Amino acid sequence: MSEAPHLTFDLDSPGVSTGHLVVPKGADCDSLSLPVFSCNRGEGPSLLITGGNHGNELQGPVLARRLVEWLPEAQTCGRIIIVPEINPLAVQAWTRNTPIDGKNLNRVFPGRSDGSVSERIADAISRILLPMVDTVLDLHSFGPTWDCAPSIISHPIADIDQMTKTVSISKAFKLPVTLLWEHNETDGMFDTCVHRQGKTFICTEFGGGVVSAEALTLYEAGVRNGLIALGLVAGKAEYPTFRQQKSGQTLETTASDQLKSPSPGIFEPRCSVMDEVKQGDVVGVLHPMGSLSAASIDIRAQSKSIVFAIRSAMYVQSDEEVAILARPLAH
């Protein structure tokens, strides 16, 4: 019989403690020990913060380390558990998916104890850490081939109360964008697993392959706002400055708001995130390769929109996403 996932320390100890979440070995690799930080200040809300779900989104793990530094002083009540890198194998390889089994950790929740390593990680988190909290904050950054607006993203949730609560707490982060993303492929997502346990899930997205000091400052300010709103940290929440503005807006995007490449080629962005575009505006240009007589193709907005995310210049295949547009959320 194989070992069960477990913690190497008592998370119920008062104050700050650290240890590991052990993901048992399987047929494909040895056991993993994920570092876990806990700050337990007694009664109050309980929050799990995770980074490194996707291994090529390193803003999350970096921010998690910053939180570990200042939370012991700042946290006034409740419980915060932080796992800076929930998929260390992908972080070390700087890949979205886990290199050993090729799986996207964010599509295999709640996982399987007898599955491949991604599934065993998901199983350990779902079974050991999730039952101890009422809210999860998963730190993402959209991946290295994109630029995206600093944002909190939610997918539509069937339970209206849960949806209302999620949007309300998301707005309290006071980031430039709170986005409702209609997504058809939510099966296996961490979100879905957390919702099934009746808990709140919040996901941040900070785009770009570059971990910049400016973006991290904004990211940290947003997360601090969120912790204040959750009642875990004292202080006054304020909008951080982004593009000379201190404000936020709530947007929605659906499948029809995604612009795709009409053919293979090099995608050249012609807009920046948060730009407003109207119907017919050129969002980017696709440059075919192999012949200079083949004309470049304009990729245009279908309607009045805001550019939420756009690909960095890169070679794309036919029908690949190159931009995600959004519109103010209709109530």
- Nearest-approach distance from CB 122 to Zn ion, in angstroms: 14
- The stretch near Zn ion (CB under 5 A) out of 57-65, 121-129, 230-238, 307-315 is 57-65
Nearer to Zn ion, 79 or 155 (CB): 155
Nearer to Zn ion, 78 or 226 (CB): 226
Nearer to Zn ion, 54 or 195 (CB): 54
- Nearest-approach distance from CB 238 to Zn ion, in angstroms: 27
Nearer to Zn ion, 140 or 174 (CB): 140
From CA 127, how far away is CA 132, in angstroms rounded? 9
- CA proximity to 203, closest of 256, 108, 135: 135
- Nearest-approach distance from CB 56 to Zn ion, in angstroms: 8
Position 55, amino acid: G
Phi and psi of 208, rounded to 5°? 105, 145
Kindly report the length of the chain: 331
Can you list the alpha helix ranges (DSSP code H) found in 106-259? 117-124, 160-171, 190-196, 213-229
From CA 312, how far away is CA 300, in angstroms rounded? 17
Which residue is it, tokens 């320390």?
9
Nearer to Zn ion, 57 or 119 (CB): 57
Name residues contacting Zn ion, limited to 7-36 (CB under 5 A): none
Name residues contacting Zn ion, limited to 116-155 (CB under 5 A): 140
Nearer to Zn ion, 101 or 191 (CB): 191
Q: Contact, 133 vs 198, CB < 8 A?
A: no
- Nearest-approach distance from CB 57 to Zn ion, in angstroms: 5
Name residues contacting Zn ion, limited to 71-90 (CB under 5 A): none
Instruction: Give the number of residues in contact with Zn ion, rule: CB under 5 A.
Output: 3
Strand partners, 177: 151, 249
From CA 104, how far away is CA 185, in angstroms rounded? 13
- CA proximity to 9, closest of 35, 30, 32, 31: 35
- Nearest-approach distance from CB 90 to Zn ion, in angstroms: 10
- Nearest-approach distance from CB 96 to Zn ion, in angstroms: 7
In the DSSP assignment, the letter for residue 209 is S
Spell out, one character per residue from 35 to 54, where the chain touches Zn ion: x when CB under 5 A holds, - when not: -------------------x
| Footprint on this chain of Zn ion (rule: CB under 5 A) | 54, 57, 140
